[in-house]
């Protein structure tokens, strides 16, 4: 594609075509990945400035440069007149627009369902994808745990990638016949315009609780970032908005989603409701009440939080054209989501669960579910958790309080301390636990802490290992090391069962 054609729909402040003869074949924002003939989009980020790597990109063979720096643009015109150059105000918007043009606009060939919210994004996205696949539709999935391109499973580096990476996945999906895309849209991605220009057909809101205030600063700013999905990010507003009517900010989402067809769901309210809910370990049943009729739902998922996830995914599936009977049939065969109330097999009567809960609200919901499951056996709830470093510090005592209020024993340990000292993080979380008076064991080493929690349990008890879920590494001050909560727990159980 000619450089001028790739830039045809990009809003530019200044443009140099290098004689109009420059041909481009790809687009990159990481200079290390640039190939001969690529466009390199140099943009300023929160941590790094891509403009520092323009020379490196040219040395790698970049045929054209898009920059959001006037100084870098002027140097380019002077030092590299043979290279196409464009000065833009917003680098991420340009990255999205150039990528879409070069890749042949794959976003226009897929019906996109996008999920946002504090908790439940990953599960809801995976459930919706399974429902769509159950009626024979090929899908692309982009999320926290993994990325799917048809039947191919790839690792995910970020919940929501940069625009060029997303569009490449979409293009790969189109090649294998995909007609649907499902993705998680984080508040960071919406705020940073990483999803600019993606036409969303169905937008889903799960809930809003305190998280990411280290980045957004206030709950108002956090909510505003989420609401951008329902306004349209460089694209029209979604055709359908699926909104949790039971959430405290549900009404605010509905107001913003006024240009969309709104479907509300919930247990207490909403047009699509779950009634006569029956919960058990490995089983959830409810009557799905809808304006189009009622239907019995049976799922192998566990817990009240998964009722909400099932409602959200079911509404989105209906919005994408599935019939009620198809939704009900799909829920029967839904598979467990890794790291979301994942039960580690045990033969000693102790239930061990690994879950991603990493906010006080998610932790409270997890413990409430565990309490319901052990009620008949009069078992105890043992909760292991930690708090992430370099993240919102104000939620640490809140998480400690949530753990202490619902548990019989709390084991406080490291999560991903990152650049912080683990002991300092533990001290801040311990304040909340102490307010409840619940017994608490503090063990900085996570593997030792998991062993301590499981060894403290007796038959009929449930051990919750919270915070990291599906993650396979632990991020420490000295670097990243392999760590898998499920594998560590399974190892401890195997020793006890010998």
Mean pLDDT of all residues in 247-255: 94
User: Which domains occur in the chain, in start order?
Assistant: 3-102 (3.40.1390.10), 106-332 (3.40.1190.10), 342-496 (3.90.190.20)
Predicted confidence (pLDDT) per residue in 21-44, tens digit: 688 999 999 999 999 999 999 998
**pLDDT, mean of residues 294-312:** 93
User: Is pLDDT at 154 greater than 90 in this prediction?
Assistant: yes
DSSP letters of 389-451? TTS-TTHHHHHHHHHHHH-SEEEE--S--TTS-HHHHHHHHHHHHHHHT--EEE-SSHHHHHH
- Residue of 302 and 101 predicted with greater confidence: 101
What number is the average pLDDT over the span 56-80? 95
pLDDT score at 210: 66
> Residue range 207-229: average pLDDT?
80
Concatenated DSSP letters for 306-364?
HHHHHHHHHHHHHHTT--HHHHHHHHHTPPPPTTSSEEEP-SSS-EEEEE---SHHHHH
Cα diameter, the chain: 79
C-alpha–C-alpha distance, residues 184 and 113, integer Å = 9
Per-residue model confidence (pLDDT) at position 283: 87
Centre a 10 Å sphere on the Cβ of residue 268 and count the other Cβ atoms it contains.
8
Top pLDDT among 278 and 498 is at 278
Structure tokens at 480: 């990243």
Burial of 267: CB neighbours in 10 Å, binned 0-12, 13-18, 19+: middle
For residue 321, pLDDT over 80 is answered with yes
Q: Which of 214, 171, 195 is nearest to 92 (CA)?
A: 195
Percentage with pLDDT > 90 across the chain:
79
**How far apart (Å, rounded) are the C-alpha atoms in residues 67 and 428?**
42
Grade residue 211 by pLDDT with cuts at 50, 70 and 90: low
DSSP 55-118: HHHHHHT-SEEEES-HHHHHHHHHH-TTSEEEE-S-HHHHHHHHHHHHTT-GGGGSEEEEEESS
Sign of CA dihedral 373, 375, 377, 380: positive
pLDDT class of 443 with cuts at 50, 70, 90: very high
pLDDT over 70 at 19, yes or no: no
Q: Which residue has the higher pLDDT, 363 or 212?
A: 363
| pLDDT above 60: residue 20 | no
CB contact burial 137-149 (16+ within 10 A = b; e otherwise) = bbbbbbbbbebbb
Residue for token pair 């990009």: 10
Indicate the pLDDT class of residue 147, thresholds 50, 70 and 90: very high
Dump pLDDT digits (tens) for 158-205. Answer: 778 999 999 999 999 999 999 999 999 998 899 999 999 999 999 999
Count, residues in the chain? 498
pLDDT band at 9, cuts 50/70/90? confident
Determine the average pLDDT of the residues in 399-422.
97
% residues pLDDT > 70 (the chain)? 97
pTM of structure: 0.85
Instruction: Using alpha carbons, list the distances in angstroms from residue 201 to 113, 146, 194, 233.
Output: 6, 22, 17, 12
Residue with tokens 């609780």: 209
| Residue 88 pLDDT > 70 | yes
pLDDT at residue 498 greater than cutoff 90: no
For residue 230, the SS3 value is helix
**Residues 451-465: tens digit of each pLDDT:** 999 999 999 999 999
Q: Taking the C-alpha atoms of 41, 44, 45 and 48 in order, what is their torsion angle to the nearest 10 degrees?
A: 90
DSSP for residue 234: S
SS3 of 453, please? helix
Block residue for tokens 């692309």: 140
pLDDT tens for 293-302 read 999 999 989 8
- Which pLDDT value is given to residue 1? 87
Q: What's the mean per-residue pLDDT of the chain?
A: 93
- Contact assessment for residue 34 and residue 100, using Cβ atoms and an 8 Å cutoff: no
Rounded to 10°, the helix 304-319/360-374 angle is 110
């Amino acid at each position: 594609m000619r450089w001028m054609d790739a830039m045809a729909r990009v809003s530019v402040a200044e443009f140099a075509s290098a004689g109009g003869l420059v041909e481009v074949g790809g687009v990159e924002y990481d200079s290390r990945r640039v190939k001969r003939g690529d466009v390199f989009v140099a943009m300023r980020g929160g941590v790094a400035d891509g403009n520092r790597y323009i020379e490196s990109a040219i040395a790698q063979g970049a045929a054209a440069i898009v920059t959001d720096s006037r100084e870098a643009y002027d140097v380019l015109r002077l030092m590299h007149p043979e290279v196409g150059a464009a000065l833009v105000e917003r680098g991420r918007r340009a990255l999205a627009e150039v990528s879409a043009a070069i890749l042949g606009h794959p976003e226009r060939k897929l019906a996109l369902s996008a999920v946002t919210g504090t908790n439940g994004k990953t599960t809801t996205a995976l459930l919706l994808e399974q429902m769509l696949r159950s009626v024979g539709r090929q899908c692309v999935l982009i999320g926290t745990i993994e990325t799917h391109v048809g039947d191919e499973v790839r690792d995910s580096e970020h919940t929501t990638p940069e625009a060029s990476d997303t569009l490449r996945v979409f293009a790969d999906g189109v090649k294998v016949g995909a007609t649907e895309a499902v993705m998680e849209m984080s508040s960071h991605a919406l705020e940073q315009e990483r999803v600019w220009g993606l036409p969303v057909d169905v937008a889903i809101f799960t809930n809003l609780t305190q998280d990411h205030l280290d980045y957004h600063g206030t709950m108002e700013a956090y909510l505003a970032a989420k609401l951008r999905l329902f306004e349209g990010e460089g694209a029209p507003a979604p055709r359908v908005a699926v909104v949790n009517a039971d959430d405290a900010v549900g009404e605010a989402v509905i107001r913003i989603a006024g240009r969309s067809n709104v479907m509300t769901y919930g247990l207490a309210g909403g047009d699509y409701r779950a009634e006569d809910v029956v919960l058990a370990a490995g089983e959830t049943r409810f009557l799905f009440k809808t304006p189009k009729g009622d239907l019995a739902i049976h799922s192998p998922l566990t817990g009240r939080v998964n009722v909400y996830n099932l409602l959200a995914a079911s509404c989105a599936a209906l919005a994408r054209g599935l019939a009620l009977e198809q939704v009900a049939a799909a829920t029967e065969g839904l598979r467990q989501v890794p790291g979301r109330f994942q039960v580690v097999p045990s033969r000693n009567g102790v239930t061990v669960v690994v879950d991603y809960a990493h906010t006080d609200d998610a932790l409270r919901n997890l413990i409430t579910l565990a309490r319901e499951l052990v009620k008949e056996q009069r078992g105890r709830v043992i909760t292991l958790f930690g708090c992430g470093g370099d993240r919102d510090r104000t939620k640490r005592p809140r998480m400690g309080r949530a753990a202490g209020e619902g548990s019989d024993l709390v084991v406080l340990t490291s999560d991903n301390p990152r650049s912080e000292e683990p002991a300092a993080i533990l001290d801040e979380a311990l304040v909340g636990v102490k307010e409840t008076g619940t017994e608490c064991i503090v063990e900085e080493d996570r593997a030792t802490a998991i062993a301590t929690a499981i060894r403290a349990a007796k038959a009929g008890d449930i051990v919750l290992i919270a915070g990291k879920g599906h993650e396979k590494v632990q991020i420490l001050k000295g670097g990243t090391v392999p760590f898998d909560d499920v594998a560590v727990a399974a190892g401890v159980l195997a020793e006890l069962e010998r």
